[in-house]
Amino acid sequence: MMNLIDEKLLDQVTAQAKESPRLRMNYNFHEAMDSKAQRLLNALEPGTVLPIHRHMATAETYVLLRGRIRVMFYNNEKQMTDCEELDPLKGRYGVHIPAGQWHTLEVLESGSTLFEVKDGPYTPITPENLMEL
């Protein structure tokens, strides 16, 4: 079955994110959590908390479809090494995050929605892959 990625779908997932206590909501295109590729929309609202984390077994790619977010990168010494603001209206569409790279994001505008891709299967983030400052 074809899934059209349009304003209606983005509005639907954004409405769910606004109602969620986490202030974010996924819309998965992959069929199962053990799929070889994890492809999803991630609607995020200002105030959502995404801890600094890394994925050791997979790279991750974000493409921002609408809104504005800031993506921050850290080294093993807990120092921020880079910070990129994504805004499709300014021609800054996304980032590719290598496997093992510490990262997080900050949502700067309501309705921000990412198309996100990483290798599967889905694996929850373990404590050694979370960073506290």
pLDDT tens, position by position, 92-120 = 999 999 999 999 999 999 999 999 999 88
pLDDT of residue 77: 97
| Domain residue ranges of the chain, discontinuous segments joined by + | 7-121
Residues listed for the chain: 133
* Fold classified for 7-121: Jelly Rolls (2.60.120)
Sign of CA dihedral 40, 123, 22, 92: negative
Greatest CA separation for the chain: 46
Query: Both tokens of residue 100?
Result: 């093992």
pLDDT of residue 32: 85
pLDDT tens, position by position, 36-94 = 889 999 999 999 999 999 999 999 999 999 999 999 999 999 999 999 999 999 999 99
pLDDT tens, position by position, 18-49 = 999 999 999 999 888 888 889 999 999 999 99
Neighbours of 121 (CB within 10 A): 14
pTM for the whole thing? Answer: 0.93
